[in-house]
Structure 1
Amino acid sequence: MSTKAYISAISYYLPKYVLSNQVIEKDFPEWSIDKISEKTGISNRYISSKNETSGDMAVEAANILFKEHDIDKSCIDYVILCTQSPDYFLPTTACIVQDKLGLSTNVGAFDMNLGCSGYVYGLGLAKGLIASNQAKNILLITSETYSKFIHPKDKSNKTIFGDAAAASLISSESGFAEILDFEYGTDGKGSENLIVKNGGMKNFNKQSKETVDEYDNYHSDNNLYMNGTEIFLFTLAAVPKLIKNTLEKNHLEKEQIDLFVLHQANKFMLDNLKKKAKIEDEKFYIHIENCGNTVSSTIPIALYHAQKENRLQSENNVLLAGFGVGYSWGGTILKIK
Structure 2
Amino acid sequence: MSNSSSAAHSGIAARIFDVATHVPERILSNEELAADFPDWPAGKILEKTGIRERRIAAPDETALDLATAACTSLFERRPDLRMRVDFIILCTQAPDHVLPTSACLLQDRLGMRTGIGALDINLGCSGFVYGLSVAAGLIATGSARTVLLATADTYSKYINSRDKSVRTLFGDGAAATIVTSDDIGSASIGPFVFGTDGAGADRLIVPAGGFRLPRSADTVIESEDRSGNVRSAENLFMDGGAVLNFTLREVPRTFRSLLDRGGLAPTELSAVILHQANKFLLDALQKKLGLDDAIVPRRYELIGNTVSSTIPFVLEQELAAGRITTGSRVALIGFGVGLSWAGALVGF
Asked if TM exceeds 0.5, the reply is: yes
Q: Is the 8 A contact 2:248 2:285 kept in 1?
A: yes
Deviation at 1:2, TM superposition (A): 4.6
Residue matched to 2:115: 106
Counterpart CA distance in 1 for 2:294 and 2:317 is: 15
Q: 2:159 is matched by which residue type in structure 1?
A: I
Residue 296 (structure 1) aligned with residue 308 (structure 2)? yes
Residue 94 (structure 1) aligned with residue 106 (structure 2)? no
Residue 180 (structure 1) aligned with residue 185 (structure 2)? no
Q: Residue 218 of structure 1 is aligned with which of 223, 230, 240?
A: 230
Query: TM-score, normalised on structure 2?
Result: 0.94
Deviation at 1:33, TM superposition (A): 1.0
Q: 1:287 is matched by which residue type in structure 2?
A: R
Counterpart CA distance in 2 for 1:62 and 1:149 is: 24
Deviation at 1:304, TM superposition (A): 0.3
Residue matched to 2:199: 189
Q: Is the 8 A contact 1:258 1:283 kept in 2?
A: yes
Q: Residue 271 of structure 1 is aligned with which of 283, 286, 291?
A: 283
1:1-337 equivalences under 5 Å are 2-173=11-182, 178-206=188-216, 207-208=218-219, 209-336=221-348
Q: Is the 8 A contact 1:3 1:130 kept in 2?
A: yes
Q: Is the 8 A contact 2:175 2:309 kept in 1?
A: yes
Secondary structure of the corresponding residue to residue 190 of structure 2: strand
Deviation at 1:178, TM superposition (A): 2.9
Q: Is the 8 A contact 2:215 2:234 kept in 1?
A: no
Deviation at 1:174, TM superposition (A): 5.5
Counterpart CA distance in 2 for 1:97 and 1:78 is: 11
Counterpart CA distance in 1 for 2:87 and 2:281 is: 35
Secondary structure of the corresponding residue to residue 197 of structure 1: coil
Deviation at 1:240, TM superposition (A): 0.5
Q: Is the 8 A contact 1:319 1:333 kept in 2?
A: yes
Counterpart CA distance in 2 for 1:95 and 1:308 is: 30
Q: Is the 8 A contact 1:74 1:103 kept in 2?
A: yes
- 120-129 or 254-263: which moved more? 254-263
Deviation at 1:205, TM superposition (A): 2.3
Counterpart CA distance in 1 for 2:238 and 2:303 is: 20
Secondary structure of the corresponding residue to residue 342 of structure 2: strand
Counterpart CA distance in 1 for 2:342 and 2:43 is: 33
Aligned CA RMSD, in angstroms, stands at 1.4
Counterpart CA distance in 1 for 2:56 and 2:328 is: 34
Counterpart CA distance in 1 for 2:83 and 2:292 is: 43
Deviation at 1:264, TM superposition (A): 0.2
Counterpart CA distance in 2 for 1:321 and 1:239 is: 7
CA deviation vs aligned residue, 1:116-147 (integer Å, no higher than 9, x gap): 00000000000000111111111000000000
Deviation at 1:180, TM superposition (A): 2.4
Residue matched to 2:3: none
Secondary structure of the corresponding residue to residue 213 of structure 2: coil
Give aligned pairs, total. 336
CA deviation vs aligned residue, 1:193-229 (integer Å, no higher than 9, x gap): 0000111110112422311112211111100000001
Counterpart CA distance in 2 for 1:211 and 1:242 is: 37
Counterpart CA distance in 2 for 1:153 and 1:221 is: 14
Q: Is the 8 A contact 2:11 2:141 kept in 1?
A: no
Q: Is the 8 A contact 1:183 1:249 kept in 2?
A: no
Q: 2:205 is matched by which residue type in structure 1?
A: I
Q: Is the 8 A contact 1:79 1:138 kept in 2?
A: yes
Counterpart CA distance in 1 for 2:244 and 2:197 is: 15
Deviation at 1:334, TM superposition (A): 1.3
Secondary structure of the corresponding residue to residue 192 of structure 2: strand
Counterpart CA distance in 2 for 1:174 and 1:305 is: 25
Deviation at 1:280, TM superposition (A): 1.4
* Percent of paired sites with the same residue: 43
Q: Is the 8 A contact 2:154 2:173 kept in 1?
A: yes
- 253-262 or 173-182: which moved more? 173-182
